[in-house]
Amino acid sequence: MPRCDYACASTDHAVNRRAFLGAAGAVAALGPLGFAAPGAAKQLAKQQKRVLVIFLSGGVSQLETWDPKPNTDTGGPFKAIATSVPGTHICELLPQTAKHMHQMAIVRSLNSVSNDHGIGAKIMLTGRKPEAALEYPHIGAVTAKLLGDTSGSALPGHIQILPKGGSGFGKGDAAFLGPKFGAVTLGEGKPPSDLLRPANLTVGSDAAREAFRRKLNERFAKSRKSASTDAYTESFAQAEEVVKQAEVFDVDKEDPKVADRYGRHDFGRHLLLARRLLESGVSSVKVSHSNYDTHHENFDFHIEQLAEFDQPFAALLDDLSDRGMLDSTLIVVMSEMGRTPKINDRYGRDHWSKAWSVALAGCGIKGGAVVGKTNANGTAVVDREVYSSHLFHTYLAAVGLDATKNFYPNERPVPIGDPEAEKISEILA
């Protein structure tokens, strides 16, 4: 699969620049999964809600996806096709997705303000314009904090799957919410760093050393017990639980037929992994698909990229629907920006934030709703302009949360969502 590699070097460095563990390479050297009994399938709590963000990295073209403008100067070569919602058309590059439009909503009037990859990603993920003096938490960290407490899962509440890099920890994602809600990063869909017991540590030695560690902790706690020592000792108990559930991270445990439905490529595997995580009680998952930064050959690249997106996305909606999870799982398909309606002389489209689209599905979303409108050739919003801040309120409202409430870092109020915006009611069920 060719990847476009442009001078702005966008791909993932914007989302993937955080430091990874030096030890990440060790995972590959470790033995097969021979140690852990598969975690007993947990009954999903009925009340539990989840959020999946699919991030089309580099800036997806709205014209080749949710807001086609065929037969105009900006429209490009592709047709618009009918969907399962009468009157709603999307680009022909999304034939499988079109069949699910009755479960989805589209916002076609987004102005995300910045044409910069990094800033755009931050704007979209935090629902705010960046402020030098205060970092805001990403949507995944916010929902992990606000939704995660009821799941009863030992798994981390916030996981992101990136196409490249090692596994690591995106502690900056959570900003003032604290590292507990920062994304555990699964680079290339690999399990968390150091999840697997080293081959030269036997099951027996592992158990023996854990027992000795606990004994030492009990002695220490006799005269020095504190909230911190408790948190530290509990973190080992949590790690042990997660280790027991290691198979959650292994998509090879899926029926090959299921894997075929998602597609035998990285993004297909990553979306399947996302489904496994959501099923196991992880409340916030983000999957990035790379790369849509198509400054030239926009159309060829969108054919390839969207083919990779369309099939597993439809499979995911089917699976969540079949499992009764779609009603409790919000899915957002976003990007850090859209692409220029104007086609440049290299058959490319450039960075564009003024008028583009985001798609949503599942929990709290009014199926078939379309809100906002761009003009005939997509160069301006003509109806219902919204910002990422409106979307942010909408995501939270969709999963039953109120973004007008406050967080209290350092005991001072910080509104969860930008107080100058409100939810987009037209697309909420």
Partner 1 sequence: MSVALCLIAIVAANEARDPLHARIDQHIAAGFADYAKNAAPIASDAEFLRRVYLDLSGTIPTVSEFQEFMADRSPNKREKVIDRLMNSFGYVRRMVWFFDVTLMERRPDQKVPRAAWESYLQTAIAENRPYDVLVREILSSDGSEPNTRAAAKFFLERDMEPHLVTRDLTRIFLGRNLQCAQCHDHPSVDDYSQAEYYGIQAFVSRSFLFPNARAANAVIAEKADGIVNFVSVFDKAKKQYTITPKMPGGKAFAEPNLEKGKEYKPSPASAAAPASTPPKTKPAPAAAATAPIPVYSRRALLAKAMTEPENTAFARTAVNRIWAMMLGRGLIHSPEWDHEANPPSHPELLELLTSEFVRHNHDIKWLVREIALTQTYQRSSEIPESLANRESIPADRYLVAELKPLSAEHLAYAISQAGGQTDTDRAALGPKGTEAQLDARVAPRIAPFRSTFAAPAGEPEDGFTASLHQTLFLKYGAAVRGMLATRSVQLGRLTDPTAVAEQLFISVLSRYPTADEVKDVTEALGTASDRNATLAELTWALVASAEFRFNH
Angle at 397 between CA 393 and CA 399, to 5 degrees: 125
CB of 65 to partner 1, least distance (A): 32
Rule CB under 8 A: choose which of 71, 150, 413, 429 binds partner 1: 413
Residue 152 binds partner 1 (CB under 8 A): no
Between 1 and 132, CB nearer to partner 1 = 132
Task: Report the sign of the C-alpha dihedral through residues 314, 139, 154, 205, in that order.
Answer: positive
Q: Which stretch binds partner 1 (CB under 8 A): 5-13, 105-113, 282-290, 405-413?
A: 405-413
Between 220 and 344, CB nearer to partner 1 = 220
CB of 223 to partner 1, least distance (A): 4
Beta carbons within 8 Å of 170's beta carbon, 6+ residues apart: 18, 160, 182, 183, 184, 185
Residue 426's nearest CA partner among 66, 108, 169, 60 is 108
CA gap 354, 377 in Å, rounded? 13
By the 8 A CB rule, do 31 and 321 touch?
no
Residue 423 binds partner 1 (CB under 8 A): no
Residue 186 binds partner 1 (CB under 8 A): no
Residue 21 binds partner 1 (CB under 8 A): yes
CB of 219 to partner 1, least distance (A): 8
CA gap 5, 274 in Å, rounded? 26
Beta carbons within 8 Å of 157's beta carbon, 6+ residues apart: 144, 145, 147, 148, 151, 180, 181, 282, 283, 284
Residue 226 binds partner 1 (CB under 8 A): yes
SS3 for 222?
helix
Residue 9 binds partner 1 (CB under 8 A): no
Rule CB under 8 A: choose which of 201, 203, 258, 429 binds partner 1: 201
Residue 45 binds partner 1 (CB under 8 A): no
CB of 10 to partner 1, least distance (A): 15
By the 8 A CB rule, do 299 and 78 touch?
yes
Residue 132 binds partner 1 (CB under 8 A): yes
CA gap 426, 429 in Å, rounded? 8
By the 8 A CB rule, do 315 and 261 touch?
yes
User: How many other CB atoms sit within 10 Å of the CB of residue 283?
Assistant: 30
Beta strands in 101-182 (DSSP E): 104-110, 158-162, 168-170
Between 185 and 328, CB nearer to partner 1 = 185
Interface with partner 1: number of residues (CB under 8 A): 68
Residue 164 vs residues 271, 314, 359, 387: alpha-carbon distances, Å: 15, 23, 24, 29
CB of 269 to partner 1, least distance (A): 22
Residue 41 binds partner 1 (CB under 8 A): no
CB of 238 to partner 1, least distance (A): 6
Between 127 and 348, CB nearer to partner 1 = 127
Rule CB under 8 A: choose which of 32, 131, 322, 345 binds partner 1: 131
Interacting residues toward partner 1 by CB under 8 A: 19-23, 26, 131-135, 156, 168-169, 171-172, 174-176, 178-180, 182, 184, 192-198, 200-202, 205-206, 208-210, 212-213, 215-217, 219-221, 223-229, 231-236, 238-239, 242-243, 410-413
